Amino acid sequence: MYPILRSEKLADKIYLMEIEAPRVAKACEPGQFVIVKTDEQGERIPLTICDYDREKGSVTIVIQTVGASTERMVKLQAGEFLMDFVGPLGCASEMVHTDLEELKKKKIVFIAGGLGTAPVYPQVKWLHNHGVDCDVIMGSKTKDLLIYVEEMKKVATNLYVTTDDGSYGFHGMGTNQLQALVDEGAHYDLCIAIGPMIMMKFVCKLTKELRIPTIVSMNPIMVDGTGMCGACRLTVGGEVKFACVDGPEFDGHLVDFDQAMKRQQTYKTEEGRAMLKLVEGDTHHGGCGHCGGDK
């Protein structure tokens, strides 16, 4: 059982929880995720690590309510418990393994859309703690849906906040803000975009035109998080990849977003899953090479 140390509402249908999980806190790095289960009846829910405190032994997650399991989860309060808290899963951000002096030479910009602010924050915080500057563009549909603005101000070199309706900050989307900054003379060597797939698709479309290398963090449906189920299958550079074990970060200019979004919708129905199994053949289940299902 994993004690809940803190639970609070950040915005409509968006909640934060700080969980006591010393082993996960000790091992995790920015970019990784956990799989959480509330109780015996709950689903296994993949959630990005939003923050961690190694000394305290805690991990912070942000949850958006989308179904019965997440609704039950966010009703839990400090002092109560989660049944399962498995991680860290996935690969850490490639920046963690990059030479710091090389990172300091790069002009980096993050673009966070909606709930994507949660996984962007630990990466920006890691860079800040290691003396690496970066700009952050974070946005949402409206002011009321913005999260982590004050926290991000403390770690970003420059923070640009956008809202689709103009209720706060720049009136427009993250792509509009990036284009405006480039038009004003800004130069970037690397972009990291995290948010809804459609948002990341259009960020990559723009950055390809601007010739800015771009990393995206893919968030398809996941079931087991270990490469065995095949739910999070993607095509990247013409090759089959699985977000849970090969990612979640990939070269955004190589990701087939149209296929990923179509597959996301198809996988939600039983008939759709059966069709995917038929079409994808041997690589549908176990094609990652990690579980032995492809032998």
- Annotate the chain with DSSP letters as a single string: -EEEEEEEEEETTEEEEEEE-HHHHHH--TT-EEEEE-STTS--EEEEEEEEETTTTEEEEEEE--SHHHHHHHT--TT-EESEEEEEESPPPGGGGS-HHHHHHS-EEEEEEGGGHHHHHHHHHHHHHTT---EEEEEESSGGG--SHHHHHHH-SEEEEEETTSSSSEES-HHHHHHHHHHTT---SEEEEES-HHHHHHHHHHHHHHT--EEEE-----SSSSSSS-TTEEEETTEEEEHHHH-SEEETTTB-HHHHHHHHHHTTSHHHHHHHHHHHGGGTTTTTSSSSTT-
Contact 16, 4 (CB under 8 A): no
% of the chain beyond a pLDDT of 90: 52
Give pLDDT, residue 207: 96
Token representation of residue 133: 């500057």
Class of domain 2-89: mainly beta
Give pLDDT, residue 287: 46
List pLDDT tens digits, range 38-89: 888 878 888 889 999 999 999 999 988 887 888 888 898 999 999 999 889 9
Q: How far apart are CA 222 and CA 179, in angstroms?
A: 33
Q: How far apart are CA 103 and CA 124, in angstroms?
A: 12
User: Whole-number mean pLDDT of the chain?
Assistant: 86
The size of the chain, in residues, is 295
Q: How far apart are CA 247 and CA 210, in angstroms?
A: 25
Give pLDDT, residue 246: 84
Contact 48, 10 (CB under 8 A): no
Whether 156 shows a pLDDT value over 50: the answer reads: yes
List pLDDT tens digits, range 240-257: 888 888 888 999 999 988
Give pLDDT, residue 293: 42
List pLDDT tens digits, range 263-278: 777 655 444 445 445 4
Q: How far apart are CA 107 and CA 157, in angstroms?
A: 11
CATH topology for 98-217 is Rossmann fold (3.40.50)
List pLDDT tens digits, range 188-224: 999 999 998 899 999 999 999 999 999 999 887 766 6
Residue with tokens 């977000």: 243
Domain ranges of the chain: 2-89, 98-217, 219-295
What is the band of 280 on the pLDDT scale with cuts at 50, 70, 90? low
Contact 142, 164 (CB under 8 A): yes
List pLDDT tens digits, range 2-13: 899 999 999 888
